[in-house]
Amino acid sequence: MVQAGMGGGVAGGPLAGAVSAAGALGTVGIMAPRAFGEALKEAHRRAPGKPVAANLLTPFTRRAHVDACIQLDAALVVFHGGLPRRWTLALQSAGVPVFATVGTPEQARDALAAGVDGLVVQGLEAGGHLVGVEDVATALRRVLDVAAGTVPVLAAGGVAEAADVRRLLQSGAAAAVAGTRFLLTEESGAHPAYRERVLAAERTLVTELFGLGWPMRHRVVPNAVTRRWCTPDELGPGWVRRVGRASAVMGRVLPLSALDPLVSRQRASIPVFSPALPLAGMPAESVDRTALYAGETLHRIDEVVSAAEAVARLVP
């Protein structure tokens, strides 16, 4: 059982540490380098002697993130949104296994050719930024055929309870990865109002609205800005998506710490939205002008619990 490394501060030291202490694999998500390093340290303090993983979003990864993973004993690193060759080689040379998130057999072949140590196959049900294009069961079967037993394959998407984990393991996955279930925990760094919106949501949508600096599809629950800009096309207005694609270079040059000031300037009336999400401590109104990432499993989760309880409910 693996906790997804939700970036931006949701999967910080308290969450990853609590998950690893409970016997699953906790994962620290990417954030500004200094905070990322402190989160890895905190996770290890909360789970002494237990493995802790890291998740790096490719456009925002810097040398300091890679160094922190090496120096602070990350059990493995998962890259999402691409596989940067130089960072992969640096980590593997230091003995840190590298996994890649994939959604298709073609992406799996590319990752294997690049020498990854494992794959995380993402289903379309997953929340957050999507490489998945099919349901997780179908995607897992197709990627397992490509991997042919050469590397472990983890499955992400649609994991809300122990039956989901059991089904994925029986289908050949080496482990199951859950995100939304751990978003809705006491140790999550998500804003309380964000968690309330997810629990109350009747649906999710796949959009490209929050694409400034990172123009990928992403699954979110509705809020004021999606209601304004994602009707009738859930992906968002064509011109907004073109601006997002043109802004891709920003993700490679802007520090992650620059996203927080952007959040305070975002307005529903101006469709220029970064990938940032609302964290605890932000103004409550931020939930209506930022991305509320969540997967389809929200329909089967009805309360916030401790990370340890979430692990207990997920493990068959």
| Structural domains present in the chain | 2-188+301-314 (3.20.20.70), 192-296 (no CATH)
Per-residue pLDDT tens for 109-127? 999 999 999 999 999 999 9
- In this predicted structure, the answer to whether residue 261 has a pLDDT above a threshold of 90 is no
Angular region, 213: left φ>0, alpha ψ -120 to 50, beta rest: left
Share above pLDDT 90 across residues of the chain, in percent, rounded to a whole number: 88
Q: Could you tell me the pLDDT band of residue 260, with boundaries at 50, 70 and 90?
A: low
Terminal C-alpha separation, the chain: 10
| 3-state secondary structure (DSSP) of residue 34 | helix
Tokens of 93: 């040379």
From the number of C-beta atoms within 10 Å of its C-beta (0-12, 13-18, 19+), residue 284 rates as exposed
- In this predicted structure, the answer to whether residue 194 has a pLDDT above a threshold of 90 is yes
**Residue 271: which residues within 8 A CB-CB, separation 6 or more?**
209, 225, 228, 229, 236, 237, 240
